[in-house]
Amino acid sequence: MNELHPHPIYSRHRLIVPISKVSALAARGNLFAVREPLVITKNGAIVDGYARWELARLQGIQTLPCMEYELTEPESLYWLLERHRRSNGLNDFIRILLALELEPWLKNKARLNQQIGGQDKGSSKLTEAETVDVRSEIASVAGVSVGNVSKVKQLIGTAPPELVTALRNGEIRIHRAWLWSRESPQKQREELWIYQSKKAVRKISKRLALRHQRSSPPIHNLENLLHFFTELQPGERSEISVATVKAPGKTIFLTEELVQSFRLYQEAIPKCGATNSH
């Protein structure tokens, strides 16, 4: 176990095995965890079986079966991508990032193949042919379209760090980020903030709708609510945002802050005190 270590690509891109994957493996029992051999390189880099290795470390297992192959780092990365094309934790953006590290290696292979085949027709034409072939190969290894490879290459050089982080986390799709990349960095950050905010509101709204269905909380009187809004000053109305959420039924959801202001407003309305007339 001490001789094993993650593939260098994990450190460079700060990749980790999702805890859900390790937990699912643990639920199947120790026998399964130690039965299937890990695929490793001569120097102990794990190519396949990282989750099994993590589980073994957590459970104090000292020995795991391994199949050792003599692979260069590009070859082992190629194999890793082939084995984890749709693995949890490796979304399209991350797989393209990893596959792009193979670009020099793939270009060299394309050059050698063309020379062997007698197709070397000059450096300018060769470069153009390499670009097409390598881009297709990168897309194939990553399991994505050629267009997405081009978009990611552009995003790596132009996108703000916040956008790259959102892509790595799978919060946004490559095409959406690429469309935003036509804007200034500040505008891209604003678009990301709006998108994340709307997504958070939808998530909270669904949770509130479900809670409402289960617990049936007190329902505010619509007539009183309308009266409250008509009594507000124009400046107070402008502070209230209105959003549409996907929820079943005909229900108006209010934030706690808005409800509190409603109550405070009602308490502030002057009331006539009782008077005695003689």
Q: What is the pLDDT of residues 9-41, one digit of tens each?
A: 888 888 888 788 888 888 877 666 667 889 999
63-77, 125-139, 174-188, 218-232: least confident range: 125-139
| Mean pLDDT of the 101-115 span | 83
Which residue segment(s) compose the domain that 132 sits in? 91-182
146-160, 171-185, 214-228: least confident range: 214-228
The reply to whether 100 falls in a domain is yes
Residue 131 confidence (pLDDT): 45
Is there a single domain that holds both residue 8 and residue 63? Answer: yes
The reply to whether 5 falls in a domain is yes
| 8-state DSSP, 97 | H
The reply to whether 201 falls in a domain is no
The reply to whether 188 falls in a domain is no
Q: What is the pLDDT of residues 131-144, one digit of tens each?
A: 446 888 999 999 99
How far apart are the C-alpha atoms of 203 and 201, rounded to whole Å? 5
Residue 216 confidence (pLDDT): 47
The 3-state DSSP class for residue 3 equals coil
Using the 3D structure, point to which of 35, 61, 84 is the last residue of a domain. Answer: 84
149-153, 155-159, 176-180: least confident range: 155-159
Is there a single domain that holds both residue 1 and residue 77? Answer: yes
Using the 3D structure, point to which of 182, 198, 223 is the last residue of a domain. Answer: 182
The 3-state DSSP class for residue 222 equals helix
Residue 263 confidence (pLDDT): 61
**Residue 190 confidence class, pLDDT cut points 50, 70, 90:** very high
Residue 132 confidence (pLDDT): 45
**Residue 185 confidence class, pLDDT cut points 50, 70, 90:** very high
Which residue did the predictor score with more confidence, 74 or 202?
Answer: 74
Which residue did the predictor score with more confidence, 252 or 97?
Answer: 97
18-32, 86-100, 155-169, 211-225: least confident range: 211-225
Is there a single domain that holds both residue 80 and residue 99? Answer: no
pLDDT at 166 over 90: yes
The reply to whether 221 falls in a domain is yes
Angle, helix 123-142 to helix 146-158, in steps of 10 degrees: 100
Is there a single domain that holds both residue 163 and residue 96? Answer: yes
Residue 275 confidence (pLDDT): 46
| Mean pLDDT of the 180-207 span | 85
Is there a single domain that holds both residue 79 and residue 97? Answer: no
Contact 89, 76 (CB under 8 A): no
Is there a single domain that holds both residue 137 and residue 170? Answer: yes
Contact 102, 77 (CB under 8 A): yes
Is there a single domain that holds both residue 164 and residue 115? Answer: yes
Extract the tokens encoding 65.
């079966």
Residue 119 confidence (pLDDT): 53
Beta bridge partners of 67: 39
Domains: count for the chain: 3
Using the 3D structure, point to which of 118, 148, 182 is the last residue of a domain. Answer: 182
Is there a single domain that holds both residue 46 and residue 18? Answer: yes
| Mean pLDDT of the 126-130 span | 47
Is there a single domain that holds both residue 217 and residue 164? Answer: no
Map tokens 């805890």 to a residue.
19
Share of the chain above pLDDT 90, in %: 29
Residue 102 confidence (pLDDT): 92
Which residue did the predictor score with more confidence, 206 or 269?
Answer: 206
In 10 A of CB 123, how many CB atoms? Answer: 8
Is there a single domain that holds both residue 64 and residue 118? Answer: no
Is there a single domain that holds both residue 3 and residue 77? Answer: yes
The vertex-147 CA angle with 191 and 78, nearest 5°, equals 110
Average pLDDT, the chain: 79
The reply to whether 158 falls in a domain is yes
Is there a single domain that holds both residue 117 and residue 132? Answer: yes
Residue 172 confidence (pLDDT): 94
The reply to whether 187 falls in a domain is no
The reply to whether 16 falls in a domain is yes
The vertex-138 CA angle with 135 and 139, nearest 5°, equals 85
Three-state secondary structure of 125-184: HHHHHHHHHHHHHHHHHHCCCHHHHHHHHHHHHHCCHHHHHHHHCCCCCHHHHHHHCCCC
Give the global pTM: 0.65
